[in-house]
Amino acid sequence: LKAGQYVTSSVLTMDAISYQVKGIFEGFKKSGLGKIGKISVEEVYSSSPPRPGERIA
């Protein structure tokens, strides 16, 4: 995975709601927990009922 690549990621919440985000990978950054990846988000889709597959942002 390299900075500048277009990526898609799933996001899961503690409320059992999921989303799919799409955007440009900005690279890895150091965190207290290790390395984390940063995405410049361009699109967000719902992956859960009642709106599965619907673009929401």
55 pLDDT exceeds 90? yes
56 pLDDT exceeds 90? yes
26-56 b/e (C-beta count within 10 Å ≥ 16 → b): eeeeeeeeeeeeebeeeeebbeeeeeeeeee
Q: Where are the beta strands (DSSP E) in the chain?
A: 6-12, 18-31, 34-46
Report the pLDDT value the prediction gives residue 33, as an integer from 0 to 100.
84
Instruction: Classify residue 56: in a domain, yes or no.
Output: no
Instruction: Classify residue 21: in a domain, yes or no.
Output: yes
Report the pLDDT value the prediction gives residue 40, as an integer from 0 to 100.
98
DSSP tag of 49:
T
Report the pLDDT value the prediction gives residue 50, as an integer from 0 to 100.
85
Instruction: Classify residue 30: in a domain, yes or no.
Output: yes
Report the pLDDT value the prediction gives residue 26, as an integer from 0 to 100.
97
The model's pLDDT over 5-53, given as tens digits with 9 standing for 90+, comes to 999 999 999 998 999 999 999 999 998 889 999 999 999 999 998 889 9
Cis peptide before 49 (omega within 30 of 0): no
Instruction: Classify residue 52: in a domain, yes or no.
Output: no
Domain count, the chain: 1
For 11, the domain range is: 6-46
Instruction: Classify residue 34: in a domain, yes or no.
Output: yes
Instruction: Classify residue 18: in a domain, yes or no.
Output: yes
Instruction: Classify residue 54: in a domain, yes or no.
Output: no
